[in-house]
Amino acid sequence: MAELPNRQEKLSLDTFVRGLWEENPVFVMLLGMCPVLAVTNSTMNAIAMGLATTFVLVASSLLISLLRHWIPRQVRIASYIVIIATFVTVVDYAIQAISLDLYNALGAFIQLIVANCVILGRAEAYASKQRLHTTLINSLGMGAGFTLALLSLGTVRELLGNGTLLGLQLMPPDFQPWVVMILPPGGFFVLGAWLLLFAWLKQRRERRLLEQEGASDAG
Amino acid sequence: MQGESLAFIFLNAAVVNNFVLALFLGICPFLGVSAKKETAWNMGLATMFVMLVSSVAAYGINWVLGALDLMFLRLICYIAVIASAVQLVEMFIKRFSPSLFRSLGIFLPLITTNCAILGLALFQTAKEYDLLQSASYALGAGVGFTLALMLMAGLREKLELAELPSISQGAAMSLMLAGLLSLAFMGFAGLGGSHG
Amino acid sequence: MSEQQIAQAPPQTPGFKMIRTLGAIAMLSGLLVVLVFQYTKPIIAENQRVAIEKAVFEVVPGASRRVDVVLGENGLLLSDDVQDAGEKIYAAFDEAGELKGVALASGAQGYQDIVKLLYGYDPDCSCIRGIKILKMTETPGLGDKIAFDPDFLQNFEALDARLNQAGDALVNAIVAVKSGKKQHAWEVDAISGATISSVAVAKALNRSMQRMAPLIQRHKEDLLRVGR
């Protein structure tokens, strides 16, 4: 079976860092938003979800990269999905064994990691084409970026909606919590706010670049 | 749960605990396909069909796996069935309406990763619904999903003619709108309160 | 190798390759899942046991030992493998083997979704001694007060659940009343601003007691015997 030669990526720091900022799965690629909105009403849940998703991402990416020459094109999506579902089932039982309270807090969203477009997307776009070590580092980067996104929502929502961070009271005692933050609308608003912030930063940077170019042209 | 009427289950899934606006399921297509009312409507219908098929299939899977004591294979079976149902819908639409097939594009196979469908199967299992209740739940979820999509599409179509700050283009604006819609839908919360 | 032999060698069709790959992956994944499942099963069972025990001892004050039984129309059964024979209840005893109470689970529709709780019933006083909310999605800051508001929980320190003359139902149904209007021992003072959530708790208790209190009283002797 002749494969189109794919540019095999050389391992570099960028392989990892890309997933954190430039190609952040949530903020830039707008993938996997369901858990980001649902499980971020507390920082603890956000961290746990990030770790679980990263595990599934790394494990399934590695296996798919390992088997990439043996999976025929027509059944690749089906194969990827079965592999991902397997690791999600593993994580599901692992979390139940570690902490039932955490398991009840995360609820159905652990099993919903299967439907997380980040994992399937990376499998299709990267793991199926690249070698083991680059896949490992890239997946770790993507997972870290995803966890970062979860944290950025989890901390804000818990702080404003409950006055606490990881259960520790941080806000002054007479702070009236903005309950809406831990309710569904809060998830939408906070994610929207972060996206606004990033868009604004991007626009500022572009404007500055244009000014610099203008100055160098004139001078 | 015994004692829940079919109408109540339907209303609950469609409005009170709307899958998109309250349970955060199906956000990707919600943001991706809600630019135009027509695509939103078609996507909603396709998703509702897949939901119905998956719901009934999930009920069957539970029954079979339970009898064989293989419960840990549940997730893998669910997702396999969903993928197959989506494949079916794809072939059906391609055959009977190629223009629709083209307009939905990549989002049609992406219904497989729509967390709303898998979520539906998982929730109905957790609530231990029987076959009729599951079907009612799936219909309600589908209607609710389509409703959310249509509302968003209507809003976004209107906003196309308005002057918006440049940084809010795209997903940021959609998310803020979704937040307002979600807030509005919270008003339905008491609807099931005095029932059962 | 002669041309005949080459021609006779069956070519691997793409279909075969696809099935082979899918089959191999399915087997591999099945193996992995079964391994993890078997390994974690005892740990998860232990976690669940500890969680239930904690809740049971919380709603039945003074208990230190728990025995799971199934109670139905036909009486008491120790094994919980029996399907539809009745409802699973937790009989709680103290060190001396005295029956301190019975813990039962129940649920009712609250404001947002189902409210699930565990409660402790004392057959000697025919009353409820405590409740513990197991699962709920009520409004944070309002409805979720049913889980920890001390005034609300005080309702359940001696909630009356006496049986009528015939012994087949409660003489007074457990109901929720408006905040501050509680006058009888079988009423639940609702939290102001969280009426629907409070009503859900009362409904869950009433529904369960109407069915189980008569059964518990009828088979009280069997329950006492289980502890010894």
What is the percentage of chain C residues whose pLDDT exceeds 90?
Answer: 9
DSSP reduced 3-state for C114? strand
Across the interface, which of A31, A114, A187 has its CB nearest the CB of B79?
Answer: A114
Number of separate helices (H) and strands (E) present in chain A: 8, 2
Which of C21, C36, C140 lies closest to A179 in CB terms?
C140
Q: Which residues of chain B are within 8 Å of residue C110 when distances are taken between CB atoms?
A: 193
Contact B149, B30 (CB under 8 A): yes
Report d(CA C186, CA C158) in Å as an integer: 9
Q: Identify the closest residue of chain A to B107 by CA–CA distance.
A: A117
C38 to chain A, closest Cα gap in Å: 10
Please compute the mean of the pLDDT values over residues C157-171 and round it to a whole number. Answer: 83
Task: Tell me which residue in C17, C26, C44 faces A97 most closely, judged by beta carbons.
Answer: C44
> Is A86 close to C32, i.e. CB distance below 8 A?
yes
Predicted local confidence at residue C5, as pLDDT: 52
pLDDT mean over C139-143: 74
How many Cβ atoms from other residues are within 10 Å of residue C189's Cβ?
A: 19
CA distance linking residue A91 with residue C22, whole number of Å:
22
Eight-state DSSP code of residue A12: -
The per-residue b/e assignment along A144-179, b for 16 or more CB within 10 angstroms, e otherwise, is bbbbbbbbbbbbbbbbbbbbebeeeeeeeeeeebbe
Chain C residue closest in CA terms to A69: C21
Q: In terms of CA atoms, which chain C residue is nearest residue B127?
A: C114
Interface of A with C (CB under 8 A): 67, 70-72, 74-75, 78-79, 82-83, 85-86, 89-90, 93-94, 96-97, 99-100, 104, 161-162, 177, 179, 182-183
Side chain identity at A1, as an amino acid letter?
Answer: M
Which subunits count as partners of chain B given 3+ CB pairs below 8 Å?
Answer: A, C
Helix, strand and coil in chain B, % to nearest 5: 80, 0, 20
Residues of B with CB under 8 A from a CB of C: 1, 4, 16-17, 72-73, 76, 127, 189-190, 192-196
Q: Do residue A115 and residue B166 have CB atoms under 8 angstroms apart?
A: no
**Most A-contacting residue of B17, B21, B25, B27 (CB-CB within 10 A), to test interface:** B27
Rg (CA), chain A: 20
Q: Measured between beta carbons, which residues in chain A are less than 8 angstroms from residue C43?
A: 97
Q: What value does the mean pLDDT take over residues A32-46? A: 85
Report helix, strand or coil for B69: coil
Query: Residue C88: beta bridge partners?
Result: C70
pLDDT digit string, tens, across residues C188-223: 888 887 888 888 899 999 989 888 888 888 888 888
Cα(C213)–Cα(C217) distance, integer angstroms:
6
Q: How far apart are CA A116 and CA A102, in angstroms?
A: 20
How many residues does the structure list for chain C?
A: 228
**Chain B hits for A189, Cβ within 8 Å:** 175-176, 179
Say if residue A202's pLDDT is above 70.
yes
State residue A143's pLDDT score: 92
pLDDT tens readout for residues A119-172: 988 888 888 888 888 889 999 999 999 999 999 999 999 888 888 888 778 888
Residue A54: pLDDT over 70:
yes
The tokens for C194 are 């969280």
Say what the pLDDT of residue C97 is.
Answer: 81
Q: What is the pLDDT of residues C98-128, one digit of tens each?
A: 888 899 989 888 877 788 899 999 988 888 9
Closest residue, chain A, to C51 (C-alpha): A100
Q: With b meaning 16 or more CB within 10 Å and e meaning fewer, what string describes B56-73? A: bbbbebbeeeeeeebebb
What are the angstrom distances between the C-alpha of A31 and each of A26, A27, B28, B115? 5, 8, 7, 12
Asked if C33 and B73 come within 8 Å (Cβ–Cβ), the reply is yes
DSSP state of A128: T
Q: Is the dihedral of CA A186, A191, A197, A203 positive or negative?
A: negative
Q: Is the CB of residue B167 less than 8 Å from the CB of residue A200?
A: yes
Per-residue confidence (pLDDT) for residue A92, from 0 to 100: 92
What pLDDT is recorded for position B196? Answer: 33
Distance from the A201 Cα atom to the nearest Cα atom in chain B, whole angstroms:
9
| ipTM for the assembly | 0.81
- The strand pair at C187-189 and C175-177 is best described as parallel
Mean pLDDT of chain C: 83
- Tell me if chain B has a CB within 8 Å of the CB of A156: no
CA distance C179 to B102: 60
Q: In this complex, which chains have at least 3 CB pairs below 8 Å with chain C?
A: A, B
pLDDT digits (tens, 9 = 90+) for C54-104: 899 988 888 888 888 888 877 777 765 556 677 888 888 888 888 888 999
Contact residues for C174 (Cβ-Cβ < 8 A; gap 6+): C159, C161, C186, C187, C188, C202, C205, C206, C209
Secondary structure class of A185 (helix, strand, coil): helix
Please report, in angstroms and rounded to a whole number, the separation of the first and last CA atoms in chain B.
11
Which among A89, A194, A196 is the top mutation candidate for probing chain B, defined by the most B β-carbons within 10 Å of its own β-carbon?
Answer: A196
Question: pLDDT category, A86, cuts 50, 70, 90?
Answer: very high
Place of tokens 């897949």: B50
Higher-confidence position of C140 and C196: C196
C167 interface with B at CB cutoff 8 Å: no
pLDDT at C139 over 80: no
pLDDT computed for residue A122 by the predictor: 86
Write the pLDDT tens digit of every residue in C8-26.
555 556 778 888 888 888 8
Q: Hey, are the CB atoms on C22 and A89 less than 8 Å from each other? A: no
Per-residue exposure over C149-181, b if at least 16 CB sit within 10 Å of its own CB, e if not: eeebbebbeebbbebeeeeeebeebbebbebee
* Mean pLDDT, 10 residues at a time, chain B of 196 residues: 75 88 86 82 90 92 88 87 86 85 79 87 86 93 94 88 76 88 84 48
Smallest Cα–Cα separation from C194: which of C143, C154, C135?
C143
Cβ within 8 Å, pair B179-A82: no
- Largest distance between two CA atoms of chain A: 69
CA torsion angle C4 C7 C8 C13 (round to 10): 170
Rounded mean pLDDT of A11-34? Answer: 83
